[in-house]
């Protein structure tokens, strides 16, 4: 598992629940270290154990923890760069949704060994979409739930999300766009640099 993904989990836990909590989790997971390096690769099993220990420690479901992680990734100022990169996808929420097809390729363009699951957006009818998340990162669909929900706020759109579960080996999310400009949204300037 790529260090960036492990590191994302680490910063999420440290920022949200504190470093003591994180240390507890890594100990419970039998990691033998407390710091993931963003640019190194780790065993898949280490990530699985950390997530398991985290859910047990918080007493939350895996789905809930992963969705919170998704929310954190695009809303916390510590990871502002990621939100900016996603906003490059389009000027409107719908354009952003369509840009998700390119997300794994874009990620690989930046970090060539970062493999994200294939994402496929289908427009069922105007304002009604489904997003399929391919295999590779079990639970990635839940992370995307958090990302999609928070990015809707970011664009000021009002959406309804539903996790449909597994369809063959794809996790499917349905997205219903109720209003494109429901609220002001957060400002995004192309030329600003992430701090």
Partner 1 sequence: MISKDELADILIPLCPMFVLVDATGHISRVGPTLQKLRPGRAMQGLRFLELFELTRPRMVTTFDGLLAVSGAKLHLRFCDQPHTVLKGAIVALPENGGAIVNLSFGISVLDAVRDYALNSADFSATDLTIELLYLVEAKSAAMEASRTLNLRLQRAMIAAEEQAFTDTLTGLKNRRAMDHVLGRMISAGKAFALMNLDLDYFKSVNDTLGHAAGDHVLQQAARIMVEETRDEDIVARVGGDEFVLIFDRLLDQDMLGRIADRLIKRLEVPIAFGDHTCRISASAGSVFWRASGDPQADQLLHEADLALYAAKHAGRACHRFFHPDMRDGGRGGDGPAIGVCRVDRATGS
Residues within the interface to partner 1 (CB under 8 A):
4, 7, 37-40, 81-82, 84-85, 88, 90-91, 106-107, 109-111, 189-194
Contact by Cβ (8 Å): 119, 131: yes
Q: Minimal distance in Å, beta carbon 162 to partner 1? A: 29
Give the nearer residue to partner 1 in terms of CB position, either 58 or 82.
Answer: 82
Q: Minimal distance in Å, beta carbon 70 to partner 1? A: 18
101: CB partners within 8 A, 6+ apart: 119, 120, 121
Q: Minimal distance in Å, beta carbon 33 to partner 1? A: 12
Give the nearer residue to partner 1 in terms of CB position, either 56 or 192.
Answer: 192
Q: Minimal distance in Å, beta carbon 166 to partner 1? A: 30
Long-range contacts formed by 94-100: CB under 8 A, 24+ apart = 94/177, 94/180, 96/151, 96/155, 97/121, 97/129, 97/131, 97/148, 97/175, 100/131
Give the nearer residue to partner 1 in terms of CB position, either 59 or 110.
Answer: 110
């Amino acid at each position: 598992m790529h260090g960036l993904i492990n590191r994302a989990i680490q910063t999420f836990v440290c920022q949200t629940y504190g470093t003591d909590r994180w240390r507890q989790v890594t100990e419970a997971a039998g990691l033998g270290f407390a710091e993931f390096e963003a640019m190194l690769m780790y065993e898949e099993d280490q990530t699985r154990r950390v997530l398991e220990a985290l859910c047990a420690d918080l007493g939350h479901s895996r789905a809930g923890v992963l969705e919170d992680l998704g929310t954190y990734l695009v809303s916390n100022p510590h990871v502002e760069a990621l939100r900016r990169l996603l906003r490059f996808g389009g000027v409107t929420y719908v354009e952003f949704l369509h840009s998700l097809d390119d997300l794994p390729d874009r990620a690989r363009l930046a970090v060539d060994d970062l493999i994200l699951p294939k994402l496929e957006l289908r427009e069922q009818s105007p304002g009604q979409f489904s997003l399929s998340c391919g295999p590779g990162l079990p639970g990635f669909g839940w992370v995307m739930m958090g990302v999609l929900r928070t990015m809707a706020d970011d664009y000021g759109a009002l959406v309804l999300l539903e996790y449909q579960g597994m369809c063959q080996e794809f996790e499917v999310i349905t997205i219903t766009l109720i209003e494109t400009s429901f609220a002001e949204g957060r400002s995004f300037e192309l030329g600003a640099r992430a701090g």
